Homo-oligomer: A and B are copies of this chain.
Amino acid sequence: MKHTIFLLLLMSLTQLSQAQTWIWYPGDYEIWLANQMNNRRTERGAFFPHFWKMDSHYVLVEFSKKVDLATDEEIEIAVEGKFNIKLDGKLQFGMPKKFIVPAGKHSLNIKVWNQATPPCIFVNGKNIKTDSSWKVTYEDKEWIDESGKASDTSATIYMAAEGWADFNTADKLPSKYKLATEEHKAVSVTAVPGGQLIDFGKETFGYLRFHLLSGKGKINIYYGESKEEALDTKYCETLDQLTVVGNNVTDEALASTSKNEHFYTLANSKAFRYVYITKDAGVDFKELSMLYEFKPENQRGSFRCNDDEVNKMWEVGAYTMQLTTREFFIDGIKRDRWTWSGDAYQSYLMNYYLSFDEQTVRNTIWALRGKDPVTSHTNTILDYTFFWFLSIYDYYMYTGDQHFISQVYPRMQSMMDYVLGRTNQDGMVEGLTGDWVFVDWADGFMDKHGELSFEQVLFTKSLETMALCAKLTNNAEDQSKYEKISVDLRAKLLPAFWNETKKALVHNRLNGMPQEQITRYANMFAVFFNYLSPEQKQEIKNSVLLNDSVMKISTPYMRFYELEALCALGEQKQVMKEMKDYWGGMIREGATSFWEKYNPEDKGVQHLAMYGRPYGKSLCHAWGASPIYLLGKYYLGIQPMKAGFKEFSINPTLGGLKWMQGTVPTPNGEIKLFMDTKTIKVTATEGKGYLTFTSKSKPKASKGMIEKLDGNKYRLMVDGKEEVVVRYR
């Protein structure tokens, strides 16, 4: 339990109280809310929950705060659950809505029980307000012995309470949280055999609304991301059936709270562009609209350039992100609607260049982790466990939020204990029975047995992440432990997997024997994780990344990293071409949001099939939106060098564009950049850092001293909120 003491110390030193909100046990509300969200998945009318352990909140939680008041203070107390109040250890009568805390130093404890929804409190007084300065525990171990002597609670594990800025008044009950909605009209209604096909114009998400519903009978609703899917009543992935009596629907599961004499809104949200409706003759309705449901996001990032296809790519990416950013970052809106760690990891990275929504990143990290004991990999997937670790340090780098690291670190420890408990005699991970070794949806054979180089690379990075986070929580013992394991494992990577003939990391080892297959996965991660020598990286570029004989990647998921690796090697021109081919290709196929998988060689309805089902493929999948990230990080070239952009780096590259301009959000500001072939303009309202660029002749800056580096490289410190203009060639 040593780490706890470190954590508490750290919290008291570094933690700034957030604003007044409802508060709860860290992660508990998020885990509960994720259950609500994940359990909205359906498959052809059947409830479809996930196949790993569904955790839930601690049902009994104690909140506490030490106060020091100049005068008596009346506090208002709102609680979700049955509760008691203790003042200086003494229980108070009943469950009061108001309570007077006398002047002086006091300790205030509120203990809440709630089975169905997370125990939460909101306290409002002149000085006493619920915020992250409150302590919280699921087990106070406060007993008194025969004589009335209280127990020693110094080993009790207290965490800082958590809350969301949204829940800032007593009437905003966390358990009642809903995303925003607005009504959208259909763009066309077409009579088709057996019924009508309604088109909402683009991929969308929400609740169908029937206007002037009347009569008696059944209405069948077939949803489609494509016209083909909606019209295929046998194979469309989602459907609903209503039993209508008058303007009411009698099916229990579809009972809606949003209805009146004019309309009836379904309780089931769905993803669709098209809806095919068939119905009994005795039932009728006048119009079908939909209640679009969305998380209101402040789109603080932007990108524009001279190439309209690239601009369109960015916009479709941003819309894909808008649709998949819900209570949590989910994978796709039609089918899974679940939090998936590998998918979410990419959403986080895109989000840093789009809405910089820190809250939803934290939510998703909590939800994916769940509670102890750990009984499987994240989403049961070996690689997804590692992406979970990686996401936490990235979050810290982009946001600078050290407090969150303290809160989540105990669960990082237990997750890593699980991983370390399943390594082989070489300290490497292999897929054991029950583990899903995913890697990618590949269009060819990929061995999942033995030690995959890809998994070891991610495992190494995860161990390095543990060491970094141990350091952030002042846990020197853990830090040195994880440093040692990560250094040992990293030292084994090249001896185990590097094939000097093929100039590449091989895909896997079986019984200690390196195999012959080369896949792209480990190679591309090893490039941008810097696990290779500069020579090896260049070799990999040609032997793997630009080598068409190595199995191609056909998911945006792994194309994300493939193109990132090429960008990291300075191949922005090549990447621009590939982006235009690949994401441009989807747009040319009519995509209004980006897809789960895209093989340019597929034709027509082939694009819709996956998992052996004709419409199995998701046409709105978060991992499709990677241009957002690539354009921000590798063209605008902006990324944090120290946590929370206290220091940033700006390495802009046109990569074949004539001009580009864009904004990258930072925790409390933004970095704006314009670049054409002669000018770079930068405004950074937060942090400082080097602008690095190449110029054929000596460049000039409106402010500051430009330093010359090797070759044609120059750099300029950007520090201050005014625009800096650089002329270069």
A interface with B by C-beta (< 8 Å): 32, 35, 39, 43-56, 58-60, 82-85, 91-95, 111, 113, 115-117, 138-148, 151-157, 252-253, 372-373, 375-376, 380, 432-434, 436, 441, 610-612
Residue of B32, B49, B156 touching A60 (CB-CB under 8 A): B49
CA A205 – CA B422 in complex, angstroms?
53
Report the minimal beta-carbon distance from A47 to chain B, rounded to whole angstroms.
4
CA A32 – CA B56 in complex, angstroms?
13
27 example contacts (A-B, Cβ-Cβ < 8 A) are as follows: A32-B115, A39-B82, A47-B82, A47-B111, A49-B113, A50-B60, A51-B141, A51-B142, A53-B60, A54-B60, A55-B59, A56-B56, A56-B59, A56-B115, A115-B115, A115-B116, A139-B375, A139-B376, A146-B611, A147-B612, A151-B434, A151-B436, A152-B433, A152-B434, A156-B434, A157-B375, A372-B372
Q: Which residue of B lies closest to A612 (CB)?
A: B148
- Provided the pairs A144-B611, A612-B147 are in contact, do residues A139 and B46 lie with their beta carbons within 8 angstroms? no
Chain B residues positioned under 8 Å from A55 (CB to CB): 59
Residue of B53, B155, B375, B610 touching A433 (CB-CB under 8 A): B155
Q: Are the CB atoms of B138 and A39 closer together than 8 Å?
A: no
CA A116 – CA B35 in complex, angstroms?
12
Chain B residues positioned under 8 Å from A35 (CB to CB): 59-60, 113, 115
Chain B residues positioned under 8 Å from A155 (CB to CB): 432-434
Q: Which residue of B lies closest to A91 (CB)?
A: B46
CA A207 – CA B140 in complex, angstroms?
31
Chain B residues positioned under 8 Å from A116 (CB to CB): 115-116
Report the minimal beta-carbon distance from A119 to chain B, rounded to whole angstroms.
10
Q: Which residue of B lies closest to A610 (CB)?
A: B146
Report the minimal beta-carbon distance from A703 to chain B, rounded to whole angstroms.
54
CA A37 – CA B51 in complex, angstroms?
32
- Provided the pairs A441-B146, A612-B147 are in contact, do residues A47 and B434 lie with their beta carbons within 8 angstroms? no
Q: Are the CB atoms of A47 and B95 closer together than 8 Å?
A: yes
CA A43 – CA B94 in complex, angstroms?
10
Q: Which residue of B lies closest to A433 (CB)?
A: B155
Q: Are the CB atoms of B434 and A51 closer together than 8 Å?
A: no
Q: Are the CB atoms of A113 and B39 closer together than 8 Å?
A: yes
Chain B residues positioned under 8 Å from A151 (CB to CB): 380, 434, 436
Q: Which residue of B lies closest to A90 (CB)?
A: B46
Q: Are the CB atoms of B52 and A139 closer together than 8 Å?
A: yes
Q: Which residue of B lies closest to A597 (CB)?
A: B146
Q: Are the CB atoms of B46 and A53 closer together than 8 Å?
A: no
Residue of B32, B141, B612 touching A376 (CB-CB under 8 A): B141
CA A599 – CA B424 in complex, angstroms?
62
Residue of B45, B145, B153 touching A434 (CB-CB under 8 A): B153
Residue of B115, B143, B373 touching A372 (CB-CB under 8 A): B373
Chain B residues positioned under 8 Å from A138 (CB to CB): 53-54
Chain B residues positioned under 8 Å from A144 (CB to CB): 611
